[in-house]
Amino acid sequence: MAELSDRMKRLIQPHLAGIEPYDPNFTPTEVNLSANENTYELPAGVRAAVDEALAATPLNRYPDPLSDELRDELAAWHGVSREMICVGNGGDELLYNFLLAFGGAGRTLLTCPPDFSEYAFFASLAQTSVERIWRDEHTFELKRDELLAAAARADLVILTSPNNPTGDVVPPALARAVCQACPGLVMIDEAYGEFADAGASCAALLEECDNLVVLHTLSKAFGAAGIRCGYVMAAPDVIEVFGAVRQIYSVNVLTQAVALAAVRARDAFAPVIEQVRSERARLFAGLQELAAACTPEGTVWAGQGNFLLVRLPQASRVRQRLRDEHSILVRDFSYAPGLADCLRITVGTPEENDRLLAALRAELGQ
């Protein structure tokens, strides 16, 4: 594991001395199913609308700090007011700002791992303690009673729905109970929300829970990970804080233009999302067959995102062989607590999924 030089360990803020330098170790492959990007082409017409919007965007002026045009479009879509939305440079910036503004020394963030590793990372940057209520080790279900008891003493809660990497959703009734139990703010990270079943979103709870923050991104369903655009929805006074702590020009003019064109064309993404969902079902069936042949450890979890989590014998080796022999990249979680021998596989196009399944069959001798 890489570490800082001794000199930097002395110079950096003490609570950051254990931080790891960024590891750019990345092997380009023909098929990349490792980062839960949308691997489908932008819907017909959307790319043209995006290009037109970019061509019409002056570059010499600073961006509108709050992305008001985009906020208005998002607000109309979600049936909330502009004052309930803050746009960020990807969901990641908003997650960091959430911890920066509401965390800090002496405060505790409650999470339910295995979940998105950035939460604990941003908490550590912001000197926020993390309390973990681990999910059931076999089913990855949330432990409702323990979660509610811990929420009552937490300053912040983040739950992920669908969860990355386990794929399950937080029932809105449970999210409501967590909001009622927690004296602080509760974020529901719905980065993959568009891929979930109807009724899974917690956004409707914003009307009754003034301590709820719902995070969305254009990186996944909208196929726009490259532009870096996410947004939070919350009560206006919460949004004021998000607006106050952010770097004023973090969402650049090109991002705002592309995001606005994409969100205006949101209906055109419905067929892509439908196809990802049906490919997810097909991939699930294929992985289930493979996993069943790998008794006793083989398992695949039914997920509601654009990815699936599968446990296979010698997962790290399988992942390496997929990369080196088949030019397919998937994400290895073997090293992560609770995820021994687990791989997370993004749902790709039908051709990509076929290629993945064939490679896995070859590697597992089936």
| Positions that interact with ligand PLP (CB under 6 A) | 36, 90-92, 116, 160, 164, 189, 191, 217, 219-220, 225, 230
Q: Are 87 and 292 in contact (CB under 8 A)?
A: no
- Among 121, 123, 101, which Cα is nearest to 245's? 101
Q: Which is nearer to ligand PLP, 79 or 226 (CB)?
A: 226
Q: Which is nearer to ligand PLP, 294 or 308 (CB)?
A: 308
- Among 253, 231, 245, 269, which Cα is nearest to 87's? 231
Q: Which is nearer to ligand PLP, 157 or 357 (CB)?
A: 157
Residue 240 forms beta bridges with which residues? none
Q: Which is nearer to ligand PLP, 200 or 294 (CB)?
A: 200
Q: List all residues 6 or more positions away from 182 whose beta carbon is below 8 Å from its beta carbon.
A: 110, 151, 152, 154, 157, 211
What is the number of other CB atoms lying within 10 angstroms of the CB of residue 20? 10
- Among 122, 86, 131, which Cα is nearest to 104's? 122
Q: Which is nearer to ligand PLP, 330 or 359 (CB)?
A: 330
Q: Which is nearer to ligand PLP, 222 or 284 (CB)?
A: 222
Q: List all residues 6 or more positions away from 221 whose beta carbon is below 8 Å from its beta carbon.
A: 38, 192, 193, 194, 195, 269, 272, 273, 306
Sign of the torsion angle spanned by Cα atoms 23, 252, 101, 192: negative
Q: Which is nearer to ligand PLP, 142 or 294 (CB)?
A: 142
Q: Are 162 and 304 in contact (CB under 8 A)?
A: yes
Q: Please report, to the nearest 10 degrees, the dihedral formed by the alpha carbons of residues 135, 138, 140, 142 taken in order.
A: -50
Q: Are 192 and 36 in contact (CB under 8 A)?
A: yes
